[in-house]
C-alpha cells in the first residue's frame, strides 16, 4: 500500500489571519511557540511520514479548513518503511471532527532528542517534525565577466547589422547561453539549448503578423481593429508557447525544465483577470498579479518534479495597499511643501516658478522610488514563494542596493553612449544571483527527467518571438 507524507509549508491560506492560524496550529499540535514561529515565519517545513492516503487527505482537509497550507506527497518505496500496525488513529487534535485537543502529543520533545527512523515511528499519528530547513542554503553563483561578455556582445551586434538582422537569432542564443552557462548552482551550470533556426522561424512569423497589422492599419481602421483584437485574443496563447519554449530549452544537469500550464488557465490569468482589473478601476491589481504569478510558477517543472507557488493573495494585497498609502503620503507631502515654499516666497515673480518646478523635480523621483520599492518587494515575495518539491527559493533583494545598481547602470550606459550595456547586464545578472538562494531540502541528485513528449514544432517557435525574460 502506498504511503503518503503530509507537508506543512508554513504558509497561510488567503483570508486567514496568520497570528490566529499560528495559535490554532499550536493548539492542534502542541508545537512550542518558538517552533511554530520558525515554521510560519522562516522557510521551514513540517512533515509527517507514513500516512495512508485517506488519513493524509483527512488531515490535509482539516488543516486547510483552518487556513494552513499543506500538501501531500507520495512516498517512494523504501524511503520510509510502512508499518500498518503502528499507524495509530488520527490524533484528535487534527481529526476533522474534534476541535479540542485533550492530550497534546509531546513528540516534539522526542523529535529534538532523537533523530532518524525512530522519530518517524514514534510520531505516527501526530505531526512528526522534520526540519527541512536543516538542508543546505545554496547560493547561485554568477561567474560572467563584463569584459568577456562585451566581446561577445559587440561581435553579435556587428554580425547582426551586417546581415541586416538575420543573425539576430544566433546572437540571441549566444548571449542567452552565456548568461545561463555562467550561472552555477552547487557546482553545475545551467544550459540554454534553443536552436537559432527555430527562433528565426518564430521571428519571421511574428514579422508577418506585425506586417499584417501595419498593412491593415494603413488602409482601413476597421480591419486594423479586427487585427488588434485578434492579436489580443492570441496573446495568452503566444505567452504559453513562449513559456514552453523557454522552459524546454533550459536544462540543469542535463535535465530539462518544462512548462505544463494550460491554455485555458493562461486565458484566465492574462485576459480575464486584466479585464476584471480594468472593470474594477484597478482595485483588483494585487489579485491579478497573484493569479498570474501563481499560473506561471505552478506550471513549471524540472524533469518530473513540479514547481509550486506557495503563497496566498494576502501578501500581494498588503504590498499594493502599502504602495498606495505611500503614494498618497508622498503626494500630500509634496503639495504641503509646495504650499509652504510658495507662501514663504516674498518675490512675487518667483512664486509660480517654485510651485511649478518643485513637483516637476520631486514627482519623477517619488515615482522611481515607489517603482523600485514595488519591484524589490514583489520580487522577494514571488521568489520566496517558489518551491520545487521540498526545495525552495529564497530571495533577498534590498531597496538601497538595487537602486544603486540601477542608477549605476543608467549613468554608465548613458555616459558611455551604450558601450557599457554589456557591463550593466552582467551587473544585473550578478545581483540577481547574489540575492537568490536555493534552500535544498536534500541532495539534488534525485530529480528524474520527464518523458520526451511529441510537441507541435512551429507553435512553440512562434512563441519564442514573444519570449519574455522569465528567470528560473
Partner 1 sequence: MSAVTEACNTPGRRPDSVQGCYYDGKRSRRHPARLLVHGGCVRVCNEQGGLLDSMDSVRELRISPRLGNTPRAVYFPGGGHFETPDNDGLDRLMGGGGLVHWLESRYLFVSVSVVLTALLVWWFVVQGVPALARMAAFSLPDTVLQKLGREAHALLDEQWLQPSALSTQEQQRVRHAFAPVLENFRQQGYVLQVHFRGSEDMGANAFALPSGDIVFTDDMVRLAENDDELLAILLHEIGHVTSRHGLRQVIQMSSLMVVITLVTGDVSSLSSMAVSIPIMLMQLGYSRNFEREADALALREMLADNIDPLNFVTIMQRLQQQKACGGKKSATECGRGLPDFLSTHPQTEARLKPFLSAAGN
d(CA 22, CA 199): 50
Cell of 424: 550593466
Q: Which of 414, 442, 455, 458 binds partner 1 (CB under 8 A)?
A: 414
d(CA 302, CA 163): 37
Which segment (71-79, 157-165, 327-335, 392-400) binds partner 1 by CB under 8 A?
157-165
Q: Which residue has the cell 538582422?
A: 165
Q: Is 435 left (phi over 0), alpha (psi -120 to 50) or beta?
A: alpha
CB of 91 to partner 1, least distance (A): 36
Q: Which of 228, 419, 442, 458 binds partner 1 (CB under 8 A)?
A: 419
Segment 449-468, which members bind partner 1 (CB under 8 A)? 449
Q: Which residue has the cell 565577466?
A: 145
Segment 269-308, which members bind partner 1 (CB under 8 A)? 303
CB of 225 to partner 1, least distance (A): 13
d(CA 276, CA 229): 17
Residue 362 in contact with residue 341, Cβ under 8 Å? no
Residue 115 or 218: which CB sits closer to partner 1? 218
d(CA 213, CA 203): 15
d(CA 472, CA 466): 17
User: Strand runs (DSSP E) across 263-408, as ranges?
Assistant: 300-302, 305-309, 386-388, 391-395
Residue 182 or 312: which CB sits closer to partner 1? 182
DSSP per-residue string spanning 316-327: HHHHHHHHHHHH
**Binding letters toward partner 1, positions 351-390, x by CB under 8 A:** -----------------x--xx--x---------------
Which residues have C-beta within 8 Å of that of residue 378, sequence separation ≥ 6? 289, 316, 319
DSSP H or E segment with residue 65: helix 53-65
Segment 421-450, which members bind partner 1 (CB under 8 A)? 421, 424-425, 428, 444-449
Does the protein bind partner 1 through residue 337 (CB under 8 A)?
no
Does the protein bind partner 1 through residue 407 (CB under 8 A)?
yes
**Binding letters toward partner 1, positions 236-255, x by CB under 8 A:** ----------------xxxx
Residue 89 or 187: which CB sits closer to partner 1? 187
Number of residues in contact with partner 1, rule: CB under 8 A? 59
Residue 87 in contact with residue 125, Cβ under 8 Å? yes
CB of 436 to partner 1, least distance (A): 16
d(CA 231, CA 208): 12
Does the protein bind partner 1 through residue 151 (CB under 8 A)?
yes
Contacts with partner 1 by CB under 8 A lie at 144-145, 148-152, 154-155, 157-161, 165, 168, 170, 172, 174-175, 177-178, 181-182, 187-189, 191, 218-219, 221, 252-255, 303, 368, 371-372, 375, 406-407, 409-410, 413-414, 418-419, 421, 424-425, 428, 444-449, 469
Amino acid at each position: 500500500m502506498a504511503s503518503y507524507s503530509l507537508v506543512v509549508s508554513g504558509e497561510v491560506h488567503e483570508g486567514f489571519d496568520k497570528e490566529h492560524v499560528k495559535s490554532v496550529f499550536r493548539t492542534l499540535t502542541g508545537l512550542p511557540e518558538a517552533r511554530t514561529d520558525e515554521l510560519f515565519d522562516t522557510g521551514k517545513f513540517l512533515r509527517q511520514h507514513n500516512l495512508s492516503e485517506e488519513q493524509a487527505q483527512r488531515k490535509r482537509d482539516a488543516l486547510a479548513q483552518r487556513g494552513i497550507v499543506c500538501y501531500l506527497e507520495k512516498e517512494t518505496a523504501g524511503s520510509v518503511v510502512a508499518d500498518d500496525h503502528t499507524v495509530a488513529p488520527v490524533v484528535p487534535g487534527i481529526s476533522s471532527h474534534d476541535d479540542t485537543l485533550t492530550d497534546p502529543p509531546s513528540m516534539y520533545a522526542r523529535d529534538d532528542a532523537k533523530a532518524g527512523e525512530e522519530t518517524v515511528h514514534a510520531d505516527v499519528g501526530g505531526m512528526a517534525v522534520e526540519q527541512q530547513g536543516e538542508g543546505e542554503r545554496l547560493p547561485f553563483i554568477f561567474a560572467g565577466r563584463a569584459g568577456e561578455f562585451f566581446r561577445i556582445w559587440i561581435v553579435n551586434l556587428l554580425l547582426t547589422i551586417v546581415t541586416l538582422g538575420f543573425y539576430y537569432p544566433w546572437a540571441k542564443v549566444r548571449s542567452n547561453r552565456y548568461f545561463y552557462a555562467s550561472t552555477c548552482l552547487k557546482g553545475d551550470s545551467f544550459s540554454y539549448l534553443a536552436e537559432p533556426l527555430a527562433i528565426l522561424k518564430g521571428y519571421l512569423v511574428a514579422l508577418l503578423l506585425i506586417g499584417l497589422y501595419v498593412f491593415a492599419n494603413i488602409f482601413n481602421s476597421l480591419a486594423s481593429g479586427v487585427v488588434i483584437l485578434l492579436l489580443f485574443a492570441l496573446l495568452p496563447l503566444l505567452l504559453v508557447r513562449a513559456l514552453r519554449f523557454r522552459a524546454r530549452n533550459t536544462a540543469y544537469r542535463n535535465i530539462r525544465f518544462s512548462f505544463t500550464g494550460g491554455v485555458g488557465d493562461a486565458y484566465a490569468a492574462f485576459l480575464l483577470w486584466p479585464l476584471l482589473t480594468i472593470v474594477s478601476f484597478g482595485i483588483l491589481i494585487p489579485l491579478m498579479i497573484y493569479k498570474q504569478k501563481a499560473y506561471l510558477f505552478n506550471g513549471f517543472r524540472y524533469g518530473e518534479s513540479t514547481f509550486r507557488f506557495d503563497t496566498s493573495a494576502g501578501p500581494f494585497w498588503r504590498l499594493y495597499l502599502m504602495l498606495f498609502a505611500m503614494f498618497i503620503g508622498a503626494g500630500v507631502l509634496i503639495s504641503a511643501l509646495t504650499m509652504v515654499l510658495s507662501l514663504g516666497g516674498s518675490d512675487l515673480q518667483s512664486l509660480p516658478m517654485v510651485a511649478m518646478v518643485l513637483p516637476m523635480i520631486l514627482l519623477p523621483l517619488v515615482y522611481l522610488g515607489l517603482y523600485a520599492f514595488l519591484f524589490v518587494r514583489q520580487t522577494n515575495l514571488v521568489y520566496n514563494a517558489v518551491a520545487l518539491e521540498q526545495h525552495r527559493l529564497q530571495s533577498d533583494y534590498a531597496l538601497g542596493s538595487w537602486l544603486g545598481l540601477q542608477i549605476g547602470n543608467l549613468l554608465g550606459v548613458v555616459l558611455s553612449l551604450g558601450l557599457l550595456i554589456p557591463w550593466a547586464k552582467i551587473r544585473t545578472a550578478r545581483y540577481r544571483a547574489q540575492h537568490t538562494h536555493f534552500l535544498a531540502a536534500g541532495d539534488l541528485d534525485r530529480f528524474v527527467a520527464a518523458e520526451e513528449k511529441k510537441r507541435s514544432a512551429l507553435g512553440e517557435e512562434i512563441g519564442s518571438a514573444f519570449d519574455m525574460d522569465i528567470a528560473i
